[in-house]
């Protein structure tokens, strides 16, 4: 119960903060450009708190459902753009009505929301860099026999310093760089026994999109060196009958060293109905156990254990200086923007399964986990979600800010305002699309919960 409350609180704080940032962008630019703002709401549904601005013009609202927000401007809605409505406005109201402003002013208001999300992300990533991140060092702990890495001369203990001249300071950063070069050449600069070594490798094209791969491990054949530990054993499972216990460290399977969880799972999958020899370390003693994998109702081959992997090398604190941290804020925001656009594009073209789309439950779980890990991780999470909000809202879908920019572009080409009926119909279509996307994402979340 406490964990659910903690996760819910982290989720509400994250969403409310990022929505406030987004809507404040619309609000402040509209007010500065002289457009009349009538309402500024964080959340939907019944108002929990509300108050008026000093000039009495703006109604500020904190609403009950913190999954959105909006800024209501005079003349913004299609029903306020009909001629009979405009004729009822005073001269002062006409001068401040949103729909009667020049295109550039309306475009500035539309861009301001996503723009503030990107600005927030930049400063959040700067803060992460200055506070310092706990990162997995780029020290090679294991190399697969006959792999590309082994053939190129990479050795256990090498510390990777750069990928194609781009410095890397963490395993994640190195992995992101490698993803960009799948299907091409890559040069690794490593430190070996206090001396620099340069290695050239060719990354063959993959049938699976690089975004979904662990490139260092599955393509090049090296990893940081992992300890694979049994976290839990299901009651009545083949693992329990074989004598496996929580805390066991898996060393070998059928005589092969176990370097990662995926390797262990693949060997289990290939051995349905056949005895498998598993060597584990328990209380400083090596034990050899025989386990027989079985197929479940979904034709998944399992032995009934939950595994956890732990890096061979301890995490390191990496903190940047003032100017490096400032640069990191801009660079990281740009990298995350590119990645988000790439994922959206690949989902549309089915290069990546839409099943990977996460909804509010997935975001809430991630918010809770990062909050548990500490302030720096939570700030990094906020920056990532802020980039996603910025990109999503710039998509050319009616009711989103990108849809507004599309309307304005059509208006500029047409030389006059778009018909209110057209706006009303297309916004309804856009609303249906967004609701459909949310329902699909929520369905994915529920499916993941049931799959465990």
Q: Would you list the domain boundaries of the chain?
A: 2-130+380-451, 142-224, 226-311
More confident: 88 or 178: 178
User: What is the 8-class DSSP label of residue 54?
Assistant: T
pLDDT at residue number 391:
93
CB 159 within 8 A of CB 137: yes
Report whether pLDDT(129) > 90: yes
Q: Any bridge partners for residue 232, and if so which? A: 306
Burial class of residue 184 (count of CB atoms within 10 Å of its CB; 0-12, 13-18, 19+): exposed
- 294-295 and 285-291 beta bridge pairing: unpaired
> What is the average pLDDT score of the chain?
85
Nearest to 312 by CA among 145, 137, 143: 137
Residue 310 to residue 292: CA distance in whole angstroms: 26
* Domains 142-224 and 226-311 alike in fold: yes
Would the pTM of this model clear 0.85, i.e. be above it?
A: no
pLDDT at residue number 191:
94
Q: Which two three-digit tokens encode residue 73?
A: 């401007």
Phi and psi based region of residue 60 (left: phi greater than 0; alpha: psi -120 to 50; beta: remaining): beta
- 276-282 and 285-291 beta bridge pairing: antiparallel
More confident: 450 or 175: 175
Region 131-142: what's the mean pLDDT? 90
- What top-level class would CATH report for the domain 142-224? mainly beta
- Lowest-pLDDT range, 162-171, 218-227, 301-310? 301-310
More confident: 220 or 417: 220
More confident: 25 or 366: 25
Say which residues have a Cβ less than 8 Å from residue 59's Cβ, sequence separation at least 6: 38, 39, 40, 50, 51, 52, 53
Region 126-150: what's the mean pLDDT? 91
Mark out the alpha helices in 67-223 (DSSP H runs). 83-87, 91-96, 103-131, 148-152, 171-179, 215
Catalytic pick among 3, 23, 76, 80: 23
Q: Which two three-digit tokens encode residue 344?
A: 């959206």
More confident: 450 or 205: 205
Give the position of tokens 């990109």: 391
**23 classed as catalytic:** yes
Region 188-193: what's the mean pLDDT? 93
Residue 20 to residue 399: CA distance in whole angstroms: 18
Region 126-145: what's the mean pLDDT? 91
Residue 302 to residue 417: CA distance in whole angstroms: 62
Task: Report the SS3 class of residue 397.
Answer: coil
Per-residue pLDDT reduced to its tens digit, 9-18: 888 888 889 9
Nearest to 307 by CA among 346, 249, 357: 249
Per-residue pLDDT reduced to its tens digit, 417-449: 888 788 888 888 888 988 887 777 777 767 766
pLDDT band at 230 (very low <50, low <70, confident <90, very high): confident
Q: Residues of the chain with pLDDT > 70: what percent?
A: 90
Residue 351 to residue 329: CA distance in whole angstroms: 29
pLDDT at residue number 393:
92
pLDDT at residue number 357:
65
Residue 269 to residue 75: CA distance in whole angstroms: 62
Q: Residues of the chain with pLDDT > 90: what percent?
A: 34
Q: Which two three-digit tokens encode residue 225?
A: 């060196």
Residue 61 to residue 41: CA distance in whole angstroms: 5
Report whether pLDDT(161) > 90: yes
pLDDT at residue number 448:
65
Backbone angles phi, psi at 102, to 5 degrees: -60, 155
What Cα–Cα distance (Å) separates residue 369 from each residue in 81, 126, 140, 360, 377? 46, 21, 27, 14, 9
pLDDT at residue number 354:
67
- What top-level class would CATH report for the domain 226-311? mainly beta
Region 230-245: what's the mean pLDDT? 86
Nearest to 46 by CA among 58, 64, 62, 60: 64
pLDDT at residue number 40:
93
Give the position of tokens 């904190």: 62
Q: Which two three-digit tokens encode residue 123?
A: 């400063």
- Lowest-pLDDT range, 76-90, 159-173, 375-389, 427-441? 76-90
Per-residue pLDDT reduced to its tens digit, 35-89: 999 999 998 888 899 999 888 899 999 998 877 888 999 887 766 665 666 667 7
Give the position of tokens 């720096």: 376
**Cα Rg for the chain, rounded, in angstroms?**
27
Report whether pLDDT(322) > 90: yes
Residue 143 to residue 366: CA distance in whole angstroms: 32
pLDDT at residue number 84:
61
User: What is the 8-class DSSP label of residue 81?
Assistant: S
Task: Report the SS3 class of residue 182.
Answer: coil
Backbone angles phi, psi at 5, to 5 degrees: -65, -40
pLDDT at residue number 197:
93
End-to-end CA distance of the chain: 18
């Amino acid at each position: 119960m406490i964990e659910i409350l903690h996760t819910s609180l982290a989720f509400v704080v994250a969403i409310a903060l990022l929505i406030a940032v987004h809507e404040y962008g619309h609000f402040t630019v509209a007010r500065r450009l002289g457009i009349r703002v009538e309402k500024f709401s964080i959340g939907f549904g019944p108002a929990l708190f509300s108050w008026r601005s000093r000039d009495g013009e703006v109604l500020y609202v904190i609403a009950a459902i913190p999954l959105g927000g909006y800024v209501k401007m005079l003349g913004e809605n299609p029903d306020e753009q009909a001629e009979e409505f405009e004729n009822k406005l005073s001269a002062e109201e006409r001068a401040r009505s949103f729909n009667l402003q020049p295109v550039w002013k309306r475009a500035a208001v539309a861009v301001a929301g996503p723009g503030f999300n990107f600005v927030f992300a930049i400063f959040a990533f700067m803060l992460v860099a200055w506070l310092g991140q706990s990162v997995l060092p780029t020290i090679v702990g294991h190399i697969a026999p006959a792999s590309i890495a082994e053939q190129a001369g990479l050795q256990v203990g090498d510390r990777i310093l750069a990928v194609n001249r781009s410095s890397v300071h963490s395993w994640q950063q190195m992995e992101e760089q490698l993803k960009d070069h799948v299907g091409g050449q890559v040069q690794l600069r490593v430190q070996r026994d206090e001396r620099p070594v340069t290695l050239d490798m060719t990354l063959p094209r993959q049938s699976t999109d690089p975004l979904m791969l662990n490139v260092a491990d599955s393509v090049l054949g090296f990893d940081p060196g992992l300890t694979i530990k049994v976290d839990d054993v299901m009651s009545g499972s083949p693992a329990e009958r074989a004598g496996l216990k929580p805390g066991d460290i898996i060393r070998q399977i059928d005589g092969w060293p176990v370097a990662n969880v995926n390797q262990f799972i693949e060997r289990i999958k290939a051995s349905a109905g056949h005895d498998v020899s598993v060597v584990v370390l328990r209380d400083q003693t090596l034990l050899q156990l025989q386990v027989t994998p079985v197929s479940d109702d979904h034709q998944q081959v399992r032995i009934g254990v939950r595994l956890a992997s732990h890096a061979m090398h301890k995490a390191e604190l990496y903190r940047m200086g003032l100017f490096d941290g400032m640069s990191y804020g801009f660079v990281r925001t740009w990298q995350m923007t590119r990645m988000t656009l790439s994922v959206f594009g690949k989902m549309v073209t089915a290069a990546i399964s839409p099943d990977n789309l996460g909804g509010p439950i997935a975001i809430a779980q991630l918010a809770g986990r990062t909050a548990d890990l500490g302030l720096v991780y939570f700030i990094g999470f906020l920056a990532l979600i802020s980039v996603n909000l910025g990109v999503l809202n710039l998509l050319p879908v009616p009711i989103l800010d990108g849809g507004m920019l599309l309307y304005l572009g059509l208006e500029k080409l047409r030389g006059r305002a778009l018909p209110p009926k057209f706006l009303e119909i297309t916004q309804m279509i856009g609303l249906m699309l967004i609701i459909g996307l949310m329902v699909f994402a929520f369905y994915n979340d529920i499916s993941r919960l049931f799959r465990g």
